[in-house]
Amino acid sequence: MDESLSEQVLFYYFTKKNNTEEDVQFKSFPNIYTAISIFKDCEVKINGNDIEITESKGTGYIALTITPDIKPYLISIKGAFEEVSIVLKPLGENYFKPLTANGTIFEKKFIEQLFEALNEQEKVLQLDAYLKSHFSCDTALNEFSKMLEAFSATEENVSLTDFAKAHFIHPKTLHRKFMKYLQITPHHYRQIVQFRKALANLLSNDTQIGEVAYLHHYFDQSHFNKTFKSLTNLSPKRAPRDIQKLANGRLCFQFL
């Protein structure tokens, strides 16, 4: 609700499931956002990109951060759960000072108050106020933010070397900055941006697969099919049937 956070925070979402019998499993496809999810009374097991969340009463709160990755995440949730999630834009997490030993920005006292909030609007107000009070920025981050904006707007057929040369930065330095601020290489970041644009086009209308491949600068339809499958384990043909859009298409899941 606080517009001053709109450059860093995409949205919040709140989930609560009381049914202990029905499990939930879904794939979350590569995107450039970072999601911080806080679960109440759950245990979390992580094996690569496979994440298992299991109801465990009395265990308190646990935070899970999902960062941009070139591979899909498989998430399994067993039993009842309550969740608060903050979805951050690229670089978003860099603007808030870590406060706790595990590197998350949320203190236990605040998390307890957040889950005690009476309704979603109150949760939003609490999150806005907390994040705003811990906002932090520096010149280097602002400079990289401008470079990232230019990088994201550059056509996919422009090489990373040519981009670096045009912006007077060595390719190795560009790579180092991406790893520092985004924990992902510029090559993989570009792949994800290209993929998400193609996916949005594929899911929003009846555009033919070959045309989507052409519009988003894949070499040909075969290259697009191969890349799409490597990022989703689905063929582009199956995507409109199997993928569900949430949050106005900003999140795409395949429920299993």
Given a cut of 60, whether residue 88 has pLDDT beyond it is yes
Sorted by sequence, the CB contacts under 8 Å of residue 21 that are 6+ apart come out as none
Does residue 251 belong to any structural domain of this protein? Answer: no
- Domain membership of residue 204 (yes or no) is yes
Mean per-residue pLDDT, 213-239? 91
Q: Is 183 a member of any domain?
A: yes
Is there a single domain that holds both residue 226 and residue 193?
yes
Q: Which of 133, 165, 194 is the last residue of a domain?
A: 133
The answer to the question of residue 249 being in a domain is no
Same-domain status, 122 and 198: no
pLDDT at 97: 78
Whole-Å CA distances, 221 to 81, 93, 132, 240: 42, 36, 45, 17
Q: Indicate if 11 and 122 belong to the same structural domain.
A: yes
Same domain, 7 and 28: yes
Same domain, 160 and 121: no
CATH number at residue 101: 2.60.120
Residue type for position 155: E
| DSSP three-state, residue 145 | helix
**110, 223: one domain:** no
Minimum mean pLDDT range among 1-15, 40-54, 232-246: 232-246
Indicate if 145 and 127 belong to the same structural domain.
Answer: no
Task: Single out the residue in 83, 105, 133 at which a domain terminates.
Answer: 133
pLDDT band at 250 (very low <50, low <70, confident <90, very high): confident
- Please say if the pLDDT value at position 222 is more than 50: yes
Local structure of 157: helix, strand or coil = coil
Q: How many domains are there within the chain?
A: 2
Q: Which two tokens stand for residue 209?
A: 């697969």
Question: Above 50 in pLDDT, residue 171?
Answer: yes
Read off the pLDDT of residues 99-149 as tens digits, 9 standing for 90 and up. 554 567 788 899 999 999 989 999 999 999 999 999 988 899 999 999 999
Q: Which of 75, 110, 133 is the last residue of a domain?
A: 133
- The per-residue pLDDT for 103 is 60
If asked whether residues 129 and 143 sit together in one domain, one would say: no
Residue 172 has pLDDT above 50, yes or no: yes
Which residues sit opposite 54 in a β-bridge?
Answer: 43, 78
pLDDT digits (tens, 9 = 90+) for 192-212: 999 999 998 888 877 789 999
| pTM of the predicted protein model | 0.89
Q: d(Cα 177, Cα 173) in Å, to the nearest integer?
A: 6
**Residue pair 84/91 in contact by the 8 Å Cβ criterion:** no
Q: What is the pLDDT of residue 107?
A: 86
119 and 201 in a common domain:
no
Contact 7, 135 (CB under 8 A): no
pLDDT of residue 100: 56
Same domain, 189 and 173: yes
Query: Which residue range is the domain that position 92 belongs to?
Result: 3-133
Q: Which helix (H) or strand (E) holds 43?
A: strand 42-47
244 domain residue, yes or no: no
Q: Is 11 helix (H, G, I), strand (E, B) or coil?
A: strand
